[in-house]
Structure 1
Amino acid sequence: MATTALINGISYSWADTKLVLFGVPVVGITKISYKRKQNKTNNYGFGMEPVARGYGNIEYEGSLEVYQEEWRRIILASPNKDPFQIPMFDIPVLFGNNPLTASKDILRAVEFNEEGFDASQGDTKLSITIPLIIGKIDHLQ
């Protein structure tokens, strides 16, 4: 009977993920999403095949999904109760429960640039998706 060995240990899960906003671990977050992309284009010359490749800007984007109560706390702590006035900040995202072996991504120069609200009849929780503008993503450890 063949068995598969657990080669690399336990994989990270949502339970092992921690997000820190303004120095405080956020417990009312239900989702974080971020990505980095670069525009790459084939350049053409004589004939039908590419003769070179052009590389464009690197772009970053992301969002947070938080409970409405958590977002209200952020608004109330913001300058003039306006989260768009919060100066650029970093968001550390930690993976793993052991600080010595945990991996970390740091979203750099983050700002909030949009907010909205949706709720429907029958909702048992109210959450808000907040888009982020990100200056850079560092992958550590």
Structure 2
Amino acid sequence: MLYSWADIVAAISGVPLTGITGIEYGDSQDVVNKYGAGRHPVGRAKGRITPTAKIILYQEEVEAIQAQSPNGRIQDLAPFDITVTYLPDSGIIKTDKIRNVQFSGNSRKWKEGDTGQEVELELVPSHIEWAK
């Protein structure tokens, strides 16, 4: 089973995003070798898990989200979840959950000849629940 962009539905707090053109998320964990007798590791230890995420939305979608903020700053929205659901033709649905997300910035970048604005927004999640 292979996925395509058309198989993905991303939603913020259960509301599907129609003006999304990209999403990227992942996590990494500190893993270190532990040494004892001899020259080689005798085991490993795992440390903190660091999640990362970013989303690319049309400006109109960003403005609709921004309108939910009491002061107009997207960074001041309360934490929310983003779900990314994979709906392939095979019918086996998988959903990843990006938890307790907040926006860390907001910007626009225009240049001559642009016919639309895609806004890349860095996200700060608490953790990611990967589909099983």
Taking structure 2 as the reference length, what is the TM-score of the superposition?
0.86
Structure 2 partner of 1:37: 28
Counterpart selection for 2:19 from 2, 12, 28: 28
Structure 1 partner of 2:64: 73
1:89 positional shift:
0.9
1:54 positional shift:
3.0
Structure 2 partner of 1:111: 102
Q: Which residue type is aligned with residue 126 of structure 1?
A: Q
Q: CA RMSD in A?
A: 2.1
1:116 positional shift:
1.8
1:50 positional shift:
3.4
5+ unaligned residues in a row in structure 2: which ranges? none
Write out the 4+ residue segments of structure 1 that deviate beyond 6 Å after TM superposition: none
Q: Which has the larger Rg? A: 1
Taking structure 1 as the reference length, what is the TM-score of the superposition?
0.81
1:86 aligns with 2:77: yes
1:43 positional shift:
3.7
Identical amino acids, percent of aligned pairs: 34
Structure 1 partner of 2:44: 53
1:51 positional shift:
4.1
Q: Which residue type is aligned with residue 133 of structure 1?
A: V
CA distances 1:22-80 after superposition (whole Å, capped 9, x unpaired): 33211101000000110112244566543443322011010000011111111122122
Work out which structure has the larger RCO, using CA pairs closer than 8 Å and 6 or more positions apart in sequence. 2
Distance 1:45 1:117, change over 3 A: farther
5+ unaligned residues in a row in structure 1: which ranges? 1-7
**How far apart are the structure 2 equivalents of 1:58 and 1:140?**
17
**How far apart are the structure 2 equivalents of 1:46 and 1:122?**
65
